[in-house]
Amino acid sequence: MTLTPLRLRKAVLPVAGLGTRVLPGTKTTPKELLNVVDRPILSYIVEEAREAGIEHIVFVTGRSKGAIEDYFDHQVELEAQLEAKGKTELLDQLLAELPQAGEMSFTRQMQPKGLGHAVWCARDIIGREPFAVMLPDVIVDGRPGALKQLVQAYEETGGNVIGVEAVPDSETHKYGIVDPISRNGRRVSMKGMVEKPAQGTSPSNLSISGRYILQPEIFDLLATQERGAGNEIQLTDAMARLMGEQAFTAIEYEGVTHDCGDKIGLLRANVALALKRPDLGAAAREAIAALL
Ligand code: G1P
């Protein structure tokens, strides 16, 4: 008898990072609120979460990230002005992004101890149920979105599911990398994973790209997880331990991944997503062509 996996309802978005790779733009603006075309990176991530059926988002924030909480609340004066000026389309767009009361929680990672520690900070709010982790640096342009593709696999496999993407061999040292055994279409079974392998030692070129579905037992392992790569508590290290006890599947999802935490990645996301927009694509193409 196969048990239906518990439904995925909650997602953790770790947004405490300082965004040093895109300074000075992130000196006073959280990097997650930098614009891609005309809306913040975070707006794309929240949209992807909702499409995948996520009902509650837990933001793990840090000092000077208060603007994120404000972004997902009413901006009363602005809304009144848009209403008075008859700009209803814009107003509707703003209102559509707002959560219903109680659908978002905010907790703080008070010290920068790494991604594993950030996820652990959400343990009480998540409780004992499966949850997603979505790295907000990463916009995935996919149909359906990357998390939904992971959910579709999870509904069949249960356990833990992570999104992976092939990267050039010269880049593997920047990521968590999986050690694959075999592949069935886009599903990859694994025997291990390693965070930021030294150049020349990577077990493959499949990087863990920032979308995860995890079982709550990961919290128990994170509680005792020792520091790893970069002297930080790494989620990858705790997942590698959990792999000894529970099923893990990697999904090479369909879509284009944009690392918006990086100057060129952010620029590329802006160009790529502007070109695809029905209302802006033609004008963007013309403007870019004129520059080249
Ligand atoms: C984090 C994760 C890493 C993952 C990467 C994706 O690293 O630790 O496993 O591959 O995100 O962007 P970071 O980029 O925070 O160093």
> pLDDT (tens digit, 9 = 90+) per residue, 183-199?
999 999 999 999 999 99
Bridge partners, residue 160, by sequence:
248
| 127 located within any domain | yes
- Ligand 1 center to residue 235 CA distance, Å? 9
| Average confidence (pLDDT) over 219-233 | 96
Which residue is closest in CA terms to ligand 1's atom 1? Answer: 175
| Distance of CA 6 from the midpoint of ligand 1 (Å) | 27
193/187 Cα distance (integer angstroms)? 15
**94 pLDDT above the threshold of 90:** yes
What CA–CA distance (Å, rounded) separates 160 from 248?
5
C-alpha 70: how far from chain center: 20
Tell me the CB-side half-sphere exposure of residue 193, using CA atoms within 13 A. Answer: 30
146: which 2 tokens? Answer: 């990357």
Which residues are within 8 A (CB) of 124 and not within 5 positions of it... i.e. 6 or more apart? none
The tokens for 108 are: 């703080």
Is a pLDDT exceeding 50 seen at residue 1? Answer: no
The pLDDT value given to residue 64? 87
Domain of residue 196: give its range. Answer: 10-291
Residue 277 lies in a domain: yes
* Count of domains observed in the chain: 1
Say whether 91 sits in a helix, a strand or coil: helix
Residue 54 C-alpha to ligand 1 middle, in angstroms? 22
Is residue 117 predicted with pLDDT exceeding 50? Answer: yes
Atom of ligand 1 nearest to the CA of 195: 9
Closest by Cα among 187, 158, 161 to 2: 158
At residue 18 the predicted structure's pLDDT band, cuts being 50, 70 and 90, is: confident
Question: Is 182:270 a contact under the CB 8 Å cutoff?
Answer: no
Whether residue 2 is contained in a domain is answered as no
**115 CA distance to ligand 1 centroid (A)?**
8
For 163-174, what is the mean pLDDT?
96
Q: Is residue 92 part of a domain?
A: yes
Question: Is residue 124 in a domain?
Answer: yes
- Residue 1 domain-assigned (yes or no): no
Indicate if the pLDDT at residue 2 is higher than 60: no
Tell me how far the alpha carbon of residue 91 lies from the centroid of ligand 1, in angstroms.
35
* Residue 257 located in a structural domain: yes
Ligand 1 surroundings by CB, under 6 angstroms: 115, 135, 137-138, 175-176, 195, 207-210, 234-236
Tell me, what's the pLDDT at 3?
67
Query: In ligand 1, which atom is closest to the CA atom of 259?
Result: 12
For residue range 19-55, list pLDDT tens digits in order.
888 899 888 999 999 999 999 999 999 999 999 999 9
Query: For residue 278, is it within any domain?
Result: yes
Q: State the pTM of this model.
A: 0.95
Please name the residue whose Cα sits nearest to atom 7 of ligand 1.
175
- Ligand 1 atom closest to the Cα of residue 207 is 10
- Backbone Cα Rg of the chain: 19
Q: Output the domain CATH number for residue 123.
A: 3.90.550.10
Q: Quote the ligand 1 centre to 247 CA distance (angstroms).
A: 21
